[in-house]
Amino acid sequence: MSPTAKELNAWVMTVFLLVVYAGYAADASGAVTAGSVLSLVFRSTLYLVTGLIVVLSAVRLFRRPEREDERDRLIALRAQRNAYFVAMAGIFLVFSALMAGEIGVQPVWPGMPPVAAAMHLLLLTMVAAELTNQVSRIVAYRRSS
């Protein structure tokens, strides 16, 4: 059975998140000031949004979206629940990493200011939560097809 438009959207989001933020991760160690981190975040977000607009528009031209039904709503709710747990765990880890320096534990990234490390970790948390959301949707659509 061919994938639905919503499943295709989830695949596109997953691939773009992985590609764009793999590039971010490759450049992250060089971004140690708040300005360089913000520049890197802005550039990555611009690439992600621009690429998604183009590709999702093309997908929409070839695959008309179906009406949302109860199954789609349940899949979306479960995926959001899974993403919420990842986001909460990530935020807890960011707070823990910030406190590590205060209690004398080795910081997450030695030599990187805590603000820059926190920005990188918060972005990692957001990306991990969104990847969890999209992968949960893909798995649910594959199981129900």
pLDDT tens digits for 1-58? Answer: 678 888 999 999 999 999 999 998 888 877 777 788 888 889 999 999 999 999 999 9
pLDDT for 61 equals 87
Number of domains making up the chain: 1
- 109 CA to centre of own chain: 21
Q: CA gyration radius for the chain?
A: 18
| pLDDT for 1 | 63
pLDDT of residue 60: 86
Residue 17 structural domain: 5-144
Percent of the residues in the chain that have a pLDDT greater than 90, as a whole number: 50
**By C-alpha distance, which of 40, 61, 59, 62 is closest to 51?**
59
